[in-house]
């Protein structure tokens, strides 16, 4: 097997350096060959979107499959269309939160979830071996533009929240679309929910002039300032393809994704009179604390939305999500969904009061995050060394090595794309979290020195 083509979230790269028209067309041929049926395609507003989409679509059509072009839409809209219309699969042209010089090709399975690794491997084999279904002139596919996908998607969301409660609350919200794909959907959603919205970066522009599309605290300074200046009830920020949402509370405080995950998880368990919530091993203990307090239970997985989604399907979970703002609502669809997340948080605030009060009630933990360089060929040996060193502690090896303490944990994960380990520690205080990372970093250094000899 040749080198891996798909990363954690599709095939990504800098345009005309890593990701060319030729690669995109050949990958489209492989996708069409493997999907064997009609394929929906959408894109975010990056400047290279038309180029990459055209190349991928040409490849798909050459294999004999039809392409249904949904236009510029959020990733969850393509996923919802695929799931709802019984077609072979979908492709989203996006690099999500990456800088504007990047773009990407993300494959969607027939059930609307992100494509599982084994199917990506099938596409990779076809791509590298050039084993494509090149159809004759009278059997190639066609492209059909489709409108209405956004309407059906928003309708699904609105059916799952208490619209009247949101309207009665007369909320004022600042919405930051990041010049991304949410510009065509989230302002409409807020209007339909009766929310007064002040919109920032609401025009789709592939250069992301307002701010970089990753919704970090530093990038959302304008949103934070506008929430404070206008006395808004909350701020809502999407990433470039709108599968994630980050919130600013009514006092102008940036909410890290684990806090919004915990608030929504608590509500979903309460609504379902219990149930299971699925989240990666990297999520804060505050999520488990609030879920168990409501009579639910937590199941941990490897990091990655596709892994979380498939575990949710397997065990019939009531909710799931990651600490990056990517929340998954099974009654809507089994994928991260930024607009559904925003609508649910608006409902919660409408019924339970200010977002700052909800945050204040959450259990408090501090985290420390860092990384350590390690050659890729030593990673497995180093992980085995760590397990042995911490054998007296409770150790979880679902994804890397997680050392569990009574009031927190330390997680050591090998990067899938770089020669390094990521170290995350959580404790009740900043000092304790830092000390745990310090200790683990020393053990890691010992292990790396040992195996470098």
Give CA–CA dist 42/77, Å, rounded.
8
Contact 173, 346 (CB under 8 A): yes
96 is catalytic: yes
User: How many C-beta neighbours within 10 Å does residue 35 have?
Assistant: 25
DSSP SS3 for 287:
helix
Contact 112, 80 (CB under 8 A): yes
3-state helix, strand, coil in the chain (%, to 5): 40, 25, 35
The helix (H) or strand (E) run that includes residue 105 is: strand 102-108
Give CA–CA dist 103/12, Å, rounded.
6
Contact 434, 418 (CB under 8 A): no
Tokens of 27: 């990958």
Give CA–CA dist 288/307, Å, rounded.
18
Name the pairing type of β-strands 276-280 and 319-321: parallel
Torsion of CA 274, 279, 281, 283, to 10 degrees: -90
Distances (CA, A) of 230 to 233, 251, 349: 9, 11, 18
Contact 148, 156 (CB under 8 A): no
Cross-strand bridge partners of residue 248: 235, 254
Identified catalytic residue from 96, 213, 266, 309: 96
Q: Report CA 267 to chain centroid distance, whole Å.
A: 20
Assign 3-class secondary structure to 317-362: CCEEECCCCCEEECCCEEEECHHHHHHHHHHHHHHHCCHHHHHHCC
- DSSP letters spanning 11-48: EEEEBTTTB-HHHHHHHHHHHHHHH-S-EEEEE-S-TT
Catalytic site positions: 96
């Amino acid at each position: 097997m040749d080198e891996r083509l798909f990363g954690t979230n599709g095939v990504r790269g800098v345009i005309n350096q890593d990701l060319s028209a030729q690669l995109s067309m050949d990958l489209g041929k492989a996708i069409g060959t493997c999907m064997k049926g009609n394929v929906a395609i959408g894109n975010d507003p990056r400047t290279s979107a038309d180029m990459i989409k055209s190349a991928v679509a040409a490849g798909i059509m050459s294999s004999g499959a039809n392409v249904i072009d949904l236009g510029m839409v959020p990733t969850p809209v393509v996923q919802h269309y695929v799931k709802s219309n019984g077609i072979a699969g979908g492709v989203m042209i996006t690099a999500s939160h990456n800088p504007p010089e990047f773009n990407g090709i993300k494959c969607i399975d027939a059930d609307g979830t992100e494509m599982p690794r084994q199917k990506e491997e099938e596409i990779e084999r076809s791509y590298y071996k050039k084993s494509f279904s090149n159809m004759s002139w009278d059997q190639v596919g066609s492209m059909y533009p489709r409108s209405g996908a956004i309407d059906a998607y928003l309708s699904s969301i609105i059916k799952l929240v208490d619209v009247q409660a949101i309207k009665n609350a007369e909320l004022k919200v600042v919405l930051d679309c990041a010049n991304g794909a949410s510009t065509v959907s989230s302002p409409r959603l807020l209007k339909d929910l009766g929310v007064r919205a002040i919109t920032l970066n609401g025009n789709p522009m592939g250069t992301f002039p307002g701010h970089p599309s990753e919704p970090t605290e530093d990038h959302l300074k304008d949103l934070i300032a506008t929430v404070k200046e206008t006395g808004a009830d909350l701020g809502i920020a999407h990433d470039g393809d709108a599968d994630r949402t980050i919130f600013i509370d009514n006092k102008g405080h940036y909410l890290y994704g684990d806090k919004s995950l915990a608030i929504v998880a608590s509500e979903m368990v309460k609504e379902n009179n219990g149930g299971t919530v699925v989240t990666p091993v990297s999520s804060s203990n505050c999520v488990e604390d609030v879920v168990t307090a409501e009579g639910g239970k937590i199941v941990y997985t490897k990091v990655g939305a596709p892994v979380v989604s498939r575990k949710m399907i397997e065990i019939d979970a009531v909710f799931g999500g990651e600490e990056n703002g990517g929340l998954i609502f099974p009654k809507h669809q089994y994928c991260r969904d930024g607009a559904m997340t925003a609508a649910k948080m608006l409902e919660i605030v409408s019924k339970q009061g200010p977002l700052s009060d909800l945050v204040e009630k959450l259990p408090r933990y501090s985290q420390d995050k860092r990384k350590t360089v390690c050659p890729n060929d030593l990673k497995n040996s180093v992980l085995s060394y760590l397990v042995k060193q911490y054998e007296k502690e409770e150790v979880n090896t679902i994804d890397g090595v997680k050392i569990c303490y009574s009031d927190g944990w330390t997680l050591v994960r090998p990067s899938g794309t770089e020669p390094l380990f990521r170290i995350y520690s959580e404790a009740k205080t900043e000092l304790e979290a830092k000390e745990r990372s310090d200790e683990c970093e020393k053990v890691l250094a010992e292990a790396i020195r040992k195996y470098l000899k």
